[in-house]
Amino acid sequence: MKLKLIATICLLALGLAASRAQEVKLNLPGQPAAPAAPAKAVYTDAQLIEEFGWFIGKRVGLTELEFTKEEVELLLKGIAHAAAGKDSPYELEKIGPAMDEFMQKKQNAYLAKLKTKNQAENTAFFTKLKENKAIVALPSGLHYEITKAGDGAAPKATETVRVHYTGTLIDGTVFDSSVQRGEPAEFPLDQVIPGWTEGIQKMNKGGKIKLYVPPQLAYGDDGRPGIPPGSTLVFDVELLDIKATAAAPAPAMPTKK
C-alpha cells in the first residue's frame, strides 16, 4: 500500500514536470519574449504534511466511512504508532476478522445512506421529466426522447451498433464519453445494460436519442467507477451505423490420436 501511494505521488510529480517542460518556448531572435512565469508558491513543511494527511484521508475514503471525532483520534493514534516504527498494538491474525466485520459495517452503513439519498433524487428527477411531453415513458421505467430523427433502419437487439455517446449522472457529471475521446464506440446490443438494449432500438440510423436510465436498468446498487450505487444515468446517443454481430467462434474439434 505504501509503495502504491508513493508511486502515485511520484507519477503525479513526474506528470506535472513533463507538462511544464512542454510549455517551454525557445526565445529565438525576432520572437516576442515569453511572458514571465508566475511566482512559485511557497509552502511550509507543516502545510505540506497537512496536505499529505488530507491526501491519505481522501484516498482511503474517510469521509464516506463517517468516523466520529473519537474514532479519528484513535485512527491518528494508530498512524502515530506506525510512523514511530512500533509493532501493531494487537495481534493481526486475531484482530483481522473483527476488523473486516467492523469495516464492512461501516461500508454497508454508507451504502444504505447513499441508496436512500439516490432513491429520493431519482424519484424527484423522473417526476420532473413528466412535465416534458417530448419524453416517452416505457413500462420498464426507461424514459427517452428522440432529439434528431434518423432516416435509416432501427437496430435489433441481436445487432451491433456504432455510436457516439456521452453519459452523465443526473447532476450533469460526465462519467463516460466517446465524444470526448474523439472515437465512436461499437456495442453488441445484447451485451450492454438493459436500458441501452431497449432504448437504442427506439431510434433509427442517423438519429439521436436521449436516454434516461433508472438504476434497475443500469448498474443497480453495484455502481461502477464514477457511477455511485443506485444512480440514474442519462445518455446522449447518436446512432452512426448498424452491423451484424459477429458470431462467436466455434469450439475446436478434438483431434484423433
C-alpha cell, 1: 500500500
240 Cβ contact partners less than 8 Å away, ≥ 6 residues apart? 161, 162, 163, 164, 184, 205, 206
Active site residue 126: no
Active-site residue (options: 200, 209, 227, 235): 235
H or E element that contains 126: helix 92-129
Active-site residue (options: 144, 176, 200, 227): 176
200: exposed, middle or buried (Cβ count in 10 Å: 0-12, 13-18, 19+):
buried
Active site residue 55: no
Active-site residue (options: 165, 200, 212, 242): 165
Active-site residue (options: 200, 209, 219, 227): 219
Active site residue 67: no
Active site residue 90: no
Neighbours of 217 (CB within 10 A): 22
Active site residue 102: no
Active-site residue (options: 175, 187, 236, 241): 175
Three-state secondary structure call for residue 40: coil
Active site residue 176: yes
H or E element that contains 212: strand 208-213
Give the CA angle between residues 167, 168, 171 to the nearest 5°: 170
Catalytic residues: 165, 175-176, 193, 219, 235
